Structure formats: structure tokens, C-alpha cells
């Protein structure tokens, strides 16, 4: 095998009360990558499309070439690789753009080199991609992008990421308002100390959310989709957040929240028709406020990154 | 019906990482109460056994007569009641002694008065019993004592308590070392503010614990039974806590923790034989240290409070 094409999906991390521990993959959008072996011993980015020129092509600074280099070092290979990256989702949007690229690159290089590792074993490398992309090796985007489905990152030391059951027919609306909220900034405004009282409220909701997903109890999922710690702070950075939330809940969303660190938002819905309506109404609201946006109505992607050919 | 006898079980609250939100009932020990209608319009405590004279017999200060009075006020009744309370578990032990008494009283008076309320509807009244017993209307003892099984108190405002699935054949060891740790003191030493980092660790473990119980994944339950916030503080009040914990884990306990606010401790075990061995070894350890103790090897009580006759 001399070349390969892989898709990796966008993800919703920090699922409402599940800050830093819960994320899920969605069917679309996602990134595609093509890798080809070359004879030069070098990792060369030959093409990046869809980033409006924003991603570094210098292989020492690019997430994709970084994780490929880490992978090849791990197997003591000096194989040369040509990379074509097709960004099919917005950067810095809260939809796990860097995670999708890292994961696509790792799944592709793993296949190309004879699949020495399982997806779970690729996870720590994918987290290193996040470290250079946003300064923090968090796993709640890369783990669902890699494994698919709804993923719990129970612990970082030792790393323990696992797929949770969830009702298979849920629909998801993701809306990306075109406003700038750099991930680093969004992290910085979170307080380092919180009250025990609000922490107890949060883990009560985390427990309810997980139980609701595991037992197919959408009423419980809905009641538990409440974030008393992160959302009140980060919502300030997202124009019309509470108006969008009210709109979604008034139109029968199971729950609504910030996707990752924003500015994208998402709604979880029982049916596609509900999701379509909420998507339309939120776009309409933002349009009235002169904010451009793009919206995706999709489902949870249970497979994660996959080989296209 | 002019008289009734009811049993309500001991409970393990604050299940390791599930501080203030998770509790379960155990088969034994538990309290028994006998109520008899009288013609006096008064609530009279005629007998308390098993408390070594420690509980107040003044009906204005006693938890049992307090919740019965609240119940009768709620249904606008001035029925007179004679109360016999049989304490069959240690007071101030962390095993939910006051909760068992309140719950037994409420289930009994509810039956005696024609069952106007469901168990769920009795919960707020039972919480009022906790308020006068320990200054805080918490629900993680009364809810499992009432409903049975493993109970999540997801939220207090509004109150949302629900039974979670769990593997039915688990065994539980509860050990009560005879040392004094008043509940109020144990609450006071908990810090009011915690780091976000440790809160994230805690809700990662809460999510894992709930997922493990719901999906019968004992490995996950075991990995998740870690408390980075409350245990490190309260364990200091329980002599030889870490020695007992190590003993339990070395002897194949799924997990080990403080029961309620202590000084009782508990171990969750896959089999009765394991539980028996851990019980024996912990008692032996405490005995060597000249600390008297009593131990119970039992199962999770799925029924909660029940009418005996």
C-alpha cells in the first residue's frame, strides 16, 4: 500500500455538564487526508485546501505532520510521506477541527505502515496533536473523532477513554456563528477554583446525563443537560447564546450547549425534523443580527475515523 | 388498620466520588418502628430501644415524631399516634441511622393513614427529618432508605431522585469502628472551594461509576471508585482508614470508601466470600489497634423500607 485516504469527523466536546470528560463525534462535517509514501525520508505537506491559508505548511508547526512524525519515531521508521489535507470544516470553531486533522493523519499513517496500533493506542499521539494546536493535550475531541460515538474520558493519569452507550437515533444540530473566540482565550476565562456546591450540582448532572444515555432515558438526559460552571462564563463570549438556547429548547431540543470552547453551539434532538427546524431558526436569528453562520444537521457518528480508500 | 410495623434499612451515602448525590440501601442493619393510633390527638413516643438512651423522647426534638407531625399536618389530620422505635443500628455511625428512622416512620404513618402518598412523595418529608437530625436536608441517605437500591440525587432544586441500575449480586461489607466522628464536624472540615482540576477528575469518576453500574462493568466501577476531594479530608478523622482500604483492595474488593460522613467504612465486593474475608480482616486489624467495631456482610437492598405487618 503506497497511498491512503482517510476521513475523520468533527466532534462536540465538553458536552454541557461534561466539561473535559465527554465528547461525541458527528457524521459531518469532517476532514480528509491523503498520504503517499515518498522516497525522500521527509514529511512534506504538498497541499492544504479549505483553510483559507491559515494553517502553517512548515512541517514543524503543522499538527498533521507533527503527529505523523511522532508516529514514525515511535516505530523507528524514516519513511518519507507526502500529505494532502482537505479541511472541510471551520478552524477555531469549537467543532474539533485540529482533532479531526490529527486523527485522520494518525489513522492514515497507521494503515499505511501496516496497522501496528489499535485506535486506542493511537489516542496518546492524537492528544499530542492537541497540545501543539491549542496548548493542552486534552482528549475529549480526539477520542470521539478516533473511536466514534459518545466517549467518556474518565481519567488522564492513567488515560482511560471509553465509549458509552447512547440512543442511536438522535439528531444533532451544530451551528457555527462566524465570530472569533480563540480556544486559548476561552480556556483562560474559566476560573481555577469553584465552589463545592456548584461542583456537586455539576456531578449530579453528569451522573444523570450518563445514566440517561446508558438507559435510553431522554427525559433524564434533558434534565441533566445543565452546566452551572463553564457555560455561564463562556456564554458571554458567544453573541446571542441564550437567545439561541431558548429557541432550541422552545422547539423541543433535548438540550443545548456550547460545542467545545465555542463559538459553535449544538442542540441534541429526538428527531431529524426537529433538528432541521432548530437549525433553520437559529440561522435566521443570527442572520437578523447580521452574523453569518453555517449549520449542520447530522447524527452521532458511531464509527469515528475511517479509511475511504 | 390501627397499628403497623415497618422496617427501613441502613444506607451508604456519598458513594466514594458521588459525594451528596449517590447512595444505596443495604439489607441489614435497619430500624423498626411500630405505630398505633391513639385517641389523644397527641404524638407520643412510648418506647425507644437500642439507642442507649441517647435519642430525645421529647416529641418536639425527636426525628421520628417530627416527620410524623409534618405528615399529619400535610393531610390536615390530628390523629393521635403512639410510637415504638427499635434502633437496630449504631447512631452517628455514617450508616444513615436517622434516615432509617425517619423513613420507617413516614412509610408507617403513610400506610396507617390509607397511603395518600407514593414513596417518592414522602421524600421531601424524610429530608426534613435529616434537617433536624444533622442540620442539613440532604437526601442521599433518605432516598435509598425509602426507595431501595442505588439512588442518584441528581438535583435538589427541583428535587430529582431516581433509582439507577446496578449488578444485582454484589456484596457489601460495612464496618463501624467505635470512634466518635459527629456528622456535623465531618461536614465542617470539607472545603467550600475546590480546584476545577480536581472537580473534573471527580466528575470523570462519577461518570465512570454510573456507566459501570448501568452497564454491569465492574472493572469500570472499580477504576472509578476514587474520591480526590472529600476522602483525603475526612479520612483523617477515621483511624487506620488507609490501612483498612489497602486491606480491602488487596483482598479483591471492587472499591472501598467512607460510608456517609464516617466513621463507618464500606467495601463493595463481587462475591459474598470475598466480603466475609474482608470483614474478618478489617475487624482483626481494628482489634489489634484496640478499636472495637461491628461489621455487616450484606447485599444492596433493592426494596427500601417495607411493611412487616
- What digits encode the pLDDT tens for the residues B24-45? 999 999 999 999 999 999 999 9
- Pick out the residues of the known binding site of B for ATP: 90-100
The string of pLDDT tens digits covering residues B59-85 is 788 999 999 999 999 999 999 999 999
Q: Report d(CA B115, CA B110) in Å as an integer.
A: 5
A154 neighbourhood in chain B, CB within 8 Å: 204-205, 207-208, 220, 223-224
B201 neighbourhood in chain A, CB within 8 Å: 155
Of A58-67, B169-178, B197-206, B284-293, the poorest mean pLDDT is in A58-67
What's residue B183's pLDDT? Answer: 60
A195 touches chain B (CB under 8 A): yes
The string of pLDDT tens digits covering residues B98-119 is 999 999 999 999 999 999 999 9
The string of pLDDT tens digits covering residues B142-190 is 999 999 999 999 999 999 999 999 999 999 999 999 998 766 676 677 8
Q: Which residues of chain A have pLDDT under 70?
A: 182-184, 186-187
State the span(s) of chain B assigned CATH 3.30.230.10.
Answer: 3-164+302-307
Please compute the mean of the pLDDT values over residues B230-257 and round it to a whole number. Answer: 96
End-to-end CA distance of chain B: 10
State the span(s) of chain B assigned CATH 3.30.70.890.
Answer: 171-299
CA distance B309 to chain A (A): 35
What's residue A186's pLDDT? Answer: 66
- Mutating which of B152, B200, B215 best tests the A interface, going by the most A Cβ atoms within 10 A? B200
A91 among the known binding-site residues?
yes
Q: Shortest CB distance from B154 goes to which of A18, A194, A207? A: A207
Q: Report d(CA A27, CA A34) in Å as an integer.
A: 19
CA distance A16 to chain B (A): 13
Q: Tell me the C-alpha to C-alpha distance, in Å, between residue A40 and each of A44, A78, A79, A114, B172.
A: 9, 9, 8, 20, 63
Fold of A3-164+302-307: Ribosomal Protein S5; domain 2 (3.30.230)
Q: Report d(CA A238, CA A244) in Å as an integer.
A: 10
CA distance A206 to chain B (A): 6
- Mutating which of A152, A200, A229 best tests the B interface, going by the most B Cβ atoms within 10 A? A200
Q: What is the DSSP string of A67-82?
A: HHHHHHHHTT---EEE
The Cβ of residue A38 has, within 10 Å, a number of other Cβ atoms equal to 16
- Indicate the SS3 state at residue A149: coil
B253 touches chain A (CB under 8 A): no
Please answer yes or no on whether B207 and A210 come within 8 Å at the CB atom.
Answer: yes
CATH number of B171-299: 3.30.70.890
Residue B218 has pLDDT above 70, yes or no: yes
What's residue A8's pLDDT? Answer: 98
What's residue B184's pLDDT? Answer: 66
B21 neighbourhood in chain A, CB within 8 Å: 200, 203-204, 207
A82 touches chain B (CB under 8 A): no
A17 touches chain B (CB under 8 A): yes
What's residue B22's pLDDT? Answer: 98
What's residue B159's pLDDT? Answer: 96
In this structure, are residues A144 and A11 in contact, taking their beta carbons and an 8 Å threshold?
Answer: yes
Amino acid at each position: 500500500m503506497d497511498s491512503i485516504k482517510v476521513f475523520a469527523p468533527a466532534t462536540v466536546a465538553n458536552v454541557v455538564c461534561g466539561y473535559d470528560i465527554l465528547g461525541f463525534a458527528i457524521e459531518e462535517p469532517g476532514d480528509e487526508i491523503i498520504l503517499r509514501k515518498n522516497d525522500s525520508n521527509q514529511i512534506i505537506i504538498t497541499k492544504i485546501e479549505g483553510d483559507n491559508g491559515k494553517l502553517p505548511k512548515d512541517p514543524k508547526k503543522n499538527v498533521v505532520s507533527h503527529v505523523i512524525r511522532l508516529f514514525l519515531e515511535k516505530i523507528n521508521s524514516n519513511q518519507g510521506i507526502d500529505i494532502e489535507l482537505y479541511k472541510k470544516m471551520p478552524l477555531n470553531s469549537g467543532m474539533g477541527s485540529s482533532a479531526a486533522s490529527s486523527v485522520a493523519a494518525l489513522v492514515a499513517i497507521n494503515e499505511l505502515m501496516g496497522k501496528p496500533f489499535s485506535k486506542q493506542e493511537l489516542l496518546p499521539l492524537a492528544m499530542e496533536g492537541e497540545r501543539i494546536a491549542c496548548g493542552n493535550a486534552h482528549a475529549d475531541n480526539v477520542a470521539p473523532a478516533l473511536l466514534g460515538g459518545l466517549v467518556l474520558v474518565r481519567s488522564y493519569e492513567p488515560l482511560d477513554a471509553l465509549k458509552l452507550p447512547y440512543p442511536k437515533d438522535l439528531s444533532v444540530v451544530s451551528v457555527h456563528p462566524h465570530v472569533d473566540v480563540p480556544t486559548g482565550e476561552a480556556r483562560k476565562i474559566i476560573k481555577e477554583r469553584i465552589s463545592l456546591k456548584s461542583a456537586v450540582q455539576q456531578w449530579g448532572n453528569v451522573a444523570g446525563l450518563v445514566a440517561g444515555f446508558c438507559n435510553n432515558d431522554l427525559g433524564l438526559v434533558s434534565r441533566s443537560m445543565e452546566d452551572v460552571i463553564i457555560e455561564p462564563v463562556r456564554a458571554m463570549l458567544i453573541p446571542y447564546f441564550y437567545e439561541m438556547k431558548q429557541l432550541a429548547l422552545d422547539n423541543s431540543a433535548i438540550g443545548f450547549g456550547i460545542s467545545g470552547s465555542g463559538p459553535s453551539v449544538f442542540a441534541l434532538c429526538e428527531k431529524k425534523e426537529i433538528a432541521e427546524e432548530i437549525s433553520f431558526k437559529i440561522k435566521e436569528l443570527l442572520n437578523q443580527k447580521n452574523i453569518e453562520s453555517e449549520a449542520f444537521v447530522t447524527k452521532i457518528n458511531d464509527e469515528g475515523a475511517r479509511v475511504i480508500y
